[in-house]
Amino acid sequence: MIIATLPASNATYTAILSGNNGGTGIGVVEVYDISQSANSRLANISSRGFVDINDNIMIGGFIIGPTTNGSSNVLVRAIGPSVPLAGALQDPMLELHDGNGATITTNDNWKISDATGQSQEADIRASGAPPSDDRESALLATLAPGNYTAVVRGKNNTTGVGLVEAYDLP
């Protein structure tokens, strides 16, 4: 466990998890704002890993805390083709689940909303963080305080290295 007070700035930080003595397996990195009374804001969290099939898909969890207006606007992305390394996941699919495991929404190919079949490109571009490849997935959601899970799978059971990200939008 690491407890750190980070300076107020637009700096980015990376936590790297590795196995003891070169060991491998499934690991979890968690970030908490333990001083919620402070004027701080965790704007983004992301994780890179191998997206396999069946029970070995990529899962990223996040918690929406209490807010002054009762909800938070978030952008969730599943990135693959633009990950700059060999073996990147070529067509990620994204699912957003609530704390009970129910699917809230899904996305395959970020410019079109799976829920409506309509373009969501302008709204996602306005967020400031549109994916750079049309095959990547993204969704916008207004979420009440609670636990959420983003699930990344490869289309047609493809595998590769992917990135799952959640952004708290102003």
Is residue 61 over pLDDT 70? yes
Distance separating alpha carbons of residues 119 and 33, to the nearest angstrom: 35
Query: What are the residues facing 103 on neighbouring strands?
Result: 97
64, β-bridge pairs: 146
Which residue would you say has higher pLDDT here, 135 or 7?
135
For the chain, which residues make up each domain, given as ranges? Answer: 42-169
Alpha carbons 60 and 126: distance in angstroms, whole number: 24
Report the DSSP beta bridge partners of residue 30.
none
Render pLDDT for 78-101 as a digit per residue (tens, 0 to 9). 999 999 999 999 999 999 999 999
CA distance readout (Å), 164 to 9, 21, 89, 133, 155: 24, 27, 12, 14, 15
Domain 42-169 has CATH 3.40.50.300: no
Total-model pTM: 0.86
